[in-house]
Structure 1
Amino acid sequence: MEAAKSHIIIRGTGLITPLGHDAASVAAAYAAGTPVFSTVSHHGQVVPVAALPASAEAELEKLLQSDHNYRQLDRSVLLAIYAARQAAAEAGWLKEGTAPADDLGVNIGSSRGATGLFEQHFSGYQQSNEGALSSSSSPTTTLGNLSSWVAHAVNAGGAQISHSITCSTALMAVANGVAWLKAGMAKRFLAGGTEAPLTPFTLSQMKAVGIYSKLAEQPYPCQPYAVEKQNTFVLGEGAAVFALEQVMSQEVKAGDVVVEAIGVGFEKIASKTSISAEGINFQKSMRHALAQLPEHNRHIDLIITHTPGTRAGDRAELAAIEAVFGATAPAITTNKWLLGHTLGASGALSLQYALHILKHQQYPSIPFHTLLPSQSTSQFRRVMVNAAGFGGNAASVILSRK
């Protein structure tokens, strides 16, 4: 007798991004197809960034006012709390004034963590003759406070995991949540990524790598897949969190989104950005994910790529897609030309983009000349999302809508 089959479904989604503060506002931004970049002055140079809009800032301020303890937290933590509460509420898991739910786990990741607050405390340390620091400097800048504060905010009493795997962080959090659910170590899981990197030091770090966009005055400062041989990386901020639950096949309803497969890949570091021209890490993660699909049905309708607008990275991922799919490559797109690269949160924002496309069955065309072949797909039922980061790692998640 065949064993009963279970699925991991997304019960709820929460997000706060340069495009908006909920699914409706973000959907409107995607429909408009207008980039949301602004500029800041950084050491005498005008640079493009993707910051939260005024409407999202207002929502974040409401969150700050709701609990006096939130005033001491880094912006990255606040973004995570906001997104997690939204996801938990949509899933029906947000129970105010109740005991912590021991069956609800949390895994929130970030590439840089509390970098804004860390920079602030370190600056104070340098300026103090005695090296004096606030008593909150350590507990509020440790990476672990990401998931612990989210757990407090949603009454989660299960696993509380914070981690950094550079720009693959959010997809790895989802992978971890799926693994815990399948292992029976949790019944529900909140997983995602957050990043608040628009700080002087982080901007300097990205500029030092030599990848930051010099197109601040142009309408499209971030140009993934661009034909022009230039780097157009632009930093953005934001967070997205997903409420995951394992259900039996008969419980899956029409319209539910299922996490069908998760693949990981790795290649040995050969450069400071850790990616080969062939995109070996991407090849491995995509093949790993595809191998988990039914052998007779491994068709992918769309790939949302990592492609942050760097010359080497973008071309490597496209080379990997060609190597894996050949002439049957799916349609390809990205959202980074609209909201930049949010580092550890980028995979989560790409996953939310996939949910948007699966629901609305459309996405905005990239308005500048690209390396992408002309492609048309009438229906999107299954979407693959890629992410990769410094260190040689990559991850691929496949979502499908029932």
Structure 2
Amino acid sequence: MAGERRVVITGIGVTAPGGIGTKAFWELLTAGRTATRTITLFDASGFRSRVAAECDFDPAAEGLSPQEIRRMDRAAQFGVVCAREALAGSGLEEGDVAPERIGVSIGSAVGCTTGLEEEYVVLSDGGRRWLVDPAYAARHLYGYMVPSTMACEVAWAAGAEGPVSLISTGCTAGLDAVGNGCQLIWTGRADVVIAGATDAPLSPITAACFDAIKATSPNNDDPAHASRPFDAHRDGFVLGEGAAVFVLEEREAARRRGAHVYAEIAGFANRSNAYHMTGLKPDGREMAEAIRQAMWWGRLDPADIDYVNAHGSGTRQNDRHETAAFKRALGRRAYEVPVSSIKSMVGHSLGAIGSIEVAACALAIEHQVVPPTANLHNRDPECDLDYVPLTAREHPIDSVLSVGSGFGGFQTAMVIRRDRAA
């Protein structure tokens, strides 16, 4: 178990569809408003699915310099902007913590996809040349090919000289990166970790990949209602983009400096199903095991869980798989606790979404409000839990379970709770 060192969240930064910044993000969730729309970032007219949850992001307006904008891919820009917001909100100042005791843990599923695709289009003359001329390459192209440069950018922004890592475990990367950051503090390797995830996957190559396996929703005539987790008429997930980054601190140090604590990361675990690249077993056994292990780590029982933030992608096999996992891990409590998916509002930003959901969980504890599952009008009979349809709900929340499921068979669970005395 975590032992004597406990990890708390003292700063949150969010860049999400529907609003930039933590305040705008929470307002969108509690309003039950969807940020899914017809794709504008590229010409999607030839694709099966032409809807996405895009961020209205202006890097200059968010404080990035022309040099930073030129150097960084869109995903790296998201991450740095979020890190700066989280640091500012945490109240940490230069000199409060030795630089070598500050770590960074950033997650991403697809790295610098936007920058890589844009450069390939230029180098290949729009795909017409197999043999590309490197003379046309941007000088920062190498950085796009090495995703760890995103973690380095966050480290530079934070002045972090401790352990720095890039976690790439597909759609669970956002949870895994935060979990890795917690482990750095639990084990004494760092006192502060800037942890979170970022992805900007909205590009033709990503759209083509998910079109090929028919994973994304083709509901192009009604983008606002295309993401429908747990609904009987759901037809796939909606791609998104965004980032969330946190300041994680050792609890006693945060308390000594009078920091505001949003929540404690109490437990974390991950498993793999060793089964199929995209398929899921219907019994949810591996996710259930991750849930049980995360609760054990946090010394929690099913009765202690007050809200479940579901992966809730809106694909038929995922929603049924995790519903089964909740029943398997929580027993009777699964039918009593509210469950919801914010992907119904902000889409599925691949590796970033796990961290964005951790932000939603911390804010749910802070405000004692459960975000809704938007667009849930006709519940799938096989998804028979309380999915908080359409409208946010005031609800006493002490402990939250958040889960993620990713291609490759990755299953991750995290328990987040209100900060309380030992």
Q: Same fold (TM over 0.5)?
A: yes
Structure-1 separation of matches of 2:261 and 2:104: 25
**Shift in CA distance, 69/111, structure 1 to aligned 2, threshold 3 Å:** same
Task: Kindly state the Cα deviation for residue 256 of structure 1 after the two structures are TM-superposed.
Answer: 4.3
Aligned-residue sequence identity (percent) comes to 25
Checking the alignment, whether the CA contact within 8 Å between 1:105 and 1:159 is kept in structure 2 is yes
SS in 1 for 2:225: coil
Report how far residue 21 of structure 1 moved.
1.4
Q: Which residue of 2 aligns with 1:275?
A: 280
Deviation at 1:373, TM superposition (A): 3.0
Q: TM-score normalised to the size of structure 1?
A: 0.90
User: Which amino acid is 2:44 matched to?
Assistant: H
Question: Could you tell me which residue of structure 2 aligns to residue 124 of structure 1?
Answer: 122
- Confirm or deny that 1:52 pairs with 2:55: yes
Of 268, 271, 294 in structure 2, the residue corresponding to residue 265 of structure 1 is: 271
What residue in structure 2 maps to residue 25 of structure 1?
24
> Where does residue 340 of structure 2 map in the other structure?
333
- Partners of 1:112 and 1:375 lie apart in 2 by 30
2: CA distance, partners of 1:390 / 1:159:
27
Task: Give, in angstroms, the shift of residue 333 of structure 1.
Answer: 0.6
Which residue, 179, 186, 189 being the options, matches 2:190? 186
Correspondence for 2:415 = 398
SS in 2 for 1:93: coil
Instruction: Say which of 353, 369, 383 aligns to 1:362.
Output: 369
CA positional deviation for 1:306:
0.7
Question: SS of the residue aligned with 1:222?
Answer: coil
Q: Is 273-282 or 104-113 further displaced after alignment? A: 273-282
Larger displacement relative to structure 2 (133-142 or 148-157)? 133-142
The equivalent residue for 1:114 is 112
Can you list the C-alpha shifts for 1:338-375, whole angstroms capped at 9, x where unaligned?
01101000101111111121122223443422234347
- SS of 1:262's partner is strand
1:39 CA displacement: 0.3
Aligned partners of 1:181 and 1:187 also within 8 Å: yes
Unaligned runs of 5+ in 1: none
The equivalent residue for 1:170 is 174
Long gaps (5+) in structure 2: 389-393
Query: How many equivalent pairs are there?
Result: 393
Structure 1 residues 207 and 296, CA gap change in structure 2 (3 angstroms): closer
2:391 corresponds in structure 1 to none
CA distance in 1, matches of 2:198, 2:109: 8
Supply the AA of the counterpart residue of 1:22. G
Alpha carbons of 1:250 and 1:237: their partners in 2 closer, same or farther (altered >3 Å)?
closer
Distance in structure 2 (CA, Å) of the matches to 1:168 and 1:357? 20
Change (3 A) 1:257 1:203: same
The letter of the residue matching 1:368 is H
Q: CA 1:375–1:203 in 2, change beyond 3 Å: closer, same or farther? A: closer
TM-score, normalised to structure 2, is 0.86
Task: Using the TM superposition, give the Cα deviation of residue 74 of structure 1 relative to its aligned residue in structure 2, in angstroms.
Answer: 0.6
SS in 1 for 2:196: strand
Paired position in structure 2 for 1:14: 13
CA RMSD of aligned residues (A): 2.6
How do 1:314-393 and structure 2 match up within 5 A? 314-329=319-334, 330-366=337-373, 367-370=376-379, 371-374=383-386, 378-393=395-410
8 Å contact from structure 1 (residues 306, 386) kept in 2 = yes
> Aligned partners of 2:50, 2:133: CA distance in 1, in Å?
33
> What is the SS of the residue equivalent to 1:38?
strand
Structure 1 residue 100, shift from structure 2 partner: 8.2
